[in-house]
Amino acid sequence: MAKARTTSRRVLTTLAAVTLAGSLALPSDADPSSRAAAGAHGASAWANATLRRMSLEEKVGQLFVTYAYGSGADSRHPKNQEEFGVDTPAEVVRRYHLGGVIYFSWTESFVDPKQVAGLSNGLQRAALTSGAGVPLLVSTDQEHGVVTRFGAPATQFPGSMALGASRSVDDARGAARIAGAELRAVGINQNYAPVADVNTNPANPVIGVRSFSSDPGLAAEMVAAQVRGYEGEGSPRRGVSATIKHFPGHGDTNVDSHSGLPVIHHDREQWRRLDAPPFRAAIAQGVDMIMSGHLVVPGLDDSQEPATVSPKVLTGILREELGFRGVVITDSLQMDAVRARYPDAELAVRALLAGADQLLMPQNLRAAYDGVLAAVRSGRLSERRIDDSVRRVLTVKFNRGIPHQPFVDETAVDRVVGTREHLAAAQEITDRTLTALRNDDGLLPLRTKPGRVLVTGWGESATKVLTERISARGVATTRKTTGPKPSPTAIGDAVAAARDHDLTVVLTHQAWDDSQQQDLVRELAHSGKPVITVAVRDPYDAAYVDQARTWLVTYSYGSPAMESLAKVLFGESSPRGKLPVTVPEPGRPDTPRFPFGHGLSW
């Protein structure tokens, strides 16, 4: 009981100090410039006061962000013992004095919204009752579209390239504002979004539709809008920290940095023209955080070091040339692009020496944590250098209002997450993104309802939802999912079914890199029945099967996208999206098949 009272007093003392500093930050009668100055003073005062009472071990802990397994803070999970030497997520936070945690479905972090809120509150209690009592940055990758961690009933928005197709800055900002509010309601105060990479390489296996555009100007406008939306514009404590990625730009590569080391062959002037604009735009908006990419850009650093461990890139360009003053966090340190080069301890130290402030998901957290401590004690890293990074982390936490309000109301989650208003807004935004690339036979919109429709192709969930949406319009609909790389037997079965229906809708997913999906579409086009082909991810699919004469692009395969598709099929709405990338001829990247800005309407 005495220990509990001591812990409680420590938390109250910490929060009282924070509230005092916060009162300096937000005088109610000040003009905006005075409020900004007071806020900066309050953040600095709190960060410096907090730093003074922190041990070296606690400071180093603030530099690490990792996951933990379990749906509750005190949930025991064998993988926590295996990876971290403790049993529960709360113990991971306390043992390493973590600066942040990250949520994934595979760590059981996302079960339902109230559970997420309870997990967040429990982890914040663990942080506040441990060491210096500094609350956590709680994060996830909620890019929307193909990278969505917090699923339904949370509101699902179209991904970046879909928003780029809409050309609507207001939609980009509005989607981020709503998404940020829902994240904050469950205790997630940082989002690893938006993606600032300019997808200039159609063969990019890891970015693609996660990018807003192949045009630097359009990408910059959308990134800036989403930063404003996520970070709350005039009410920053209601928003979440945006984290743009992957600096200095992951758009022009055909290598996935999860499994290999991409090399970007842009010289400095090309980089400034093609890759830098979205990062500049985000910095101008005051973005809280920037994530480094595990990629080599010889035109920026001829040492062949990945950007994550390159002082020339993180300090020389990001800090000095672009003037970024926020937090630099690495991409996951478990990725082969960097882990194959250095052991975990050395990788962590080199990233900090390069200019990173936080280290995301080292494969061996204990080795990385101990490696940084050893580097400080040996003099390789100065404690002042550690203090600089911790101060930036603390400043972001203060400005985002996390020390003032580390907990969320678990009973209020349903009043924010997935509300009718949010879902309606998401559907309206999605309706403005669908793009029509071909309608050579004038098949669309369907002027009379077909008797029987076959839905086939990629995606168990997407084909199921689309089947439901078409059936809801009074049309007999059959589903036959063939998935990725359909076998000759699956293709034959789909073609036979198509001949027994009046219309076929076939979904493709990265068919530009899947000859078997291309074969499916080609054979369906020869079935003698009308076929509508829909790329539910990359628009590049549409260049690969000439025989398919009706092509639509949804850019994502979530339920709102399938509803938008059904509306366009039946003429309830017209496709309004315009290509935010150029779709080139196969094997001829400089020859457009469908140019930037192309899009049919009716």
Q: State the CATH number of the domain containing residue 474.
A: 3.40.50.1700
331 given a catalytic annotation: yes
Instruction: Name the residue with higher pLDDT: 253 or 41.
Output: 253
Q: What is the CATH number of the domain that holds 159?
A: 3.20.20.300
Specify the pLDDT at position 452: 97
Across the range 158-173, mean pLDDT stands at 98
Task: Evaluate if residue 18 carries a pLDDT over 90.
Answer: no
Euclidean distance between CA atoms 285 and 232, whole angstroms: 11
Q: Is there a domain that residue 99 lies in?
A: no
Q: Is there a domain that residue 564 lies in?
A: yes
Q: Is there a domain that residue 6 lies in?
A: no
Specify the pLDDT at position 257: 75
Give me the number of domains the chain comprises: 2
Global pTM value: 0.92
pLDDT digits (tens, 9 = 90+) for 557-588: 999 999 999 999 999 999 999 999 999 999 99
pLDDT digits (tens, 9 = 90+) for 415-472: 999 999 999 999 999 999 999 999 999 999 999 999 999 999 999 999 999 999 999 9
Residue 15 confidence class, pLDDT cut points 50, 70, 90: very low
Percentage above 70 pLDDT, the chain: 93
Quick one: 537 and 389 in the same domain?
A: no
Q: Is there a domain that residue 216 lies in?
A: yes
Residue 233 confidence class, pLDDT cut points 50, 70, 90: confident
pLDDT digits (tens, 9 = 90+) for 479-488: 999 999 999 9
Q: Which domain holds residue 438?
A: 434-594
Q: Is there a domain that residue 515 lies in?
A: yes
Euclidean distance between CA atoms 400 and 467, whole angstroms: 43
- Helix-helix angle 2-25:383-399, to 10 degrees: 80
Residue 256 confidence class, pLDDT cut points 50, 70, 90: confident
509 given a catalytic annotation: no
Quick one: 385 and 450 in the same domain?
A: no
Quick one: 171 and 252 in the same domain?
A: yes
Task: Evaluate if residue 27 carries a pLDDT over 50.
Answer: no
Quick one: 261 and 314 in the same domain?
A: yes
Instruction: Name the residue with higher pLDDT: 215 or 340.
Output: 215
Lowest mean pLDDT among 152-161, 221-230, 231-240: 231-240
Judge contact between 51 and 63, C-beta under 8 A: no
Quick one: 195 and 312 in the same domain?
A: yes
Across the range 395-403, mean pLDDT stands at 96
Task: Evaluate if residue 235 carries a pLDDT over 80.
Answer: no
Euclidean distance between CA atoms 556 and 565, whole angstroms: 11
Residue 11 confidence class, pLDDT cut points 50, 70, 90: very low
- Burial of 268-288, coded b for 16+ CB within 10 Å and e otherwise, reads eebbeebbbbbbbbbbebebb
Euclidean distance between CA atoms 284 and 269, whole angstroms: 20
DSSP string of 73-99, one letter each residue: TT---HHHHHHHSSSSHHHHHHHHT-S
Quick one: 221 and 364 in the same domain?
A: yes
Specify the pLDDT at position 32: 43
Quick one: 307 and 373 in the same domain?
A: yes
Q: Last residue of a domain, which of 357, 386, 404?
A: 404
Task: Evaluate if residue 183 carries a pLDDT over 90.
Answer: yes
Quick one: 204 and 293 in the same domain?
A: yes
Q: Is there a domain that residue 171 lies in?
A: yes
Euclidean distance between CA atoms 157 and 146, whole angstroms: 10
Q: Last residue of a domain, which of 404, 423, 457?
A: 404
Nearest to 402 by CA among 412, 414, 393, 411: 393
| Chain mean position to CA 347 | 24
DSSP string of 168-218, one letter each residue: -HHHHHHHHHHHHHHHHHTT--EE---B------TT-SSSGGGSS-SSHHH
Quick one: 464 and 354 in the same domain?
A: no
Q: Last residue of a domain, which of 404, 420, 452?
A: 404
Residue 349 one-letter amino acid: V
Specify the pLDDT at position 26: 39
Quick one: 305 and 380 in the same domain?
A: yes
Across the range 541-563, mean pLDDT stands at 97
Task: Evaluate if residue 331 carries a pLDDT over 90.
Answer: yes
Euclidean distance between CA atoms 360 and 203, whole angstroms: 27
- Which is the catalytic residue, given 74, 258, 370, 502? 258
Quick one: 290 and 335 in the same domain?
A: yes
Quick one: 564 and 458 in the same domain?
A: yes
Q: Is there a domain that residue 526 lies in?
A: yes
Specify the pLDDT at position 37: 52
Across the range 276-298, mean pLDDT stands at 97
Specify the pLDDT at position 234: 66
Mean pLDDT of the chain: 93
Task: Evaluate if residue 284 carries a pLDDT over 70.
Answer: yes
Across the range 526-544, mean pLDDT stands at 97
pLDDT digits (tens, 9 = 90+) for 79-114: 999 999 999 999 999 999 999 999 999 999 999 999
- Which is the catalytic residue, given 215, 331, 431, 541? 331
Q: Is there a domain that residue 144 lies in?
A: yes
Across the range 260-275, mean pLDDT stands at 94
Euclidean distance between CA atoms 146 and 371, whole angstroms: 35
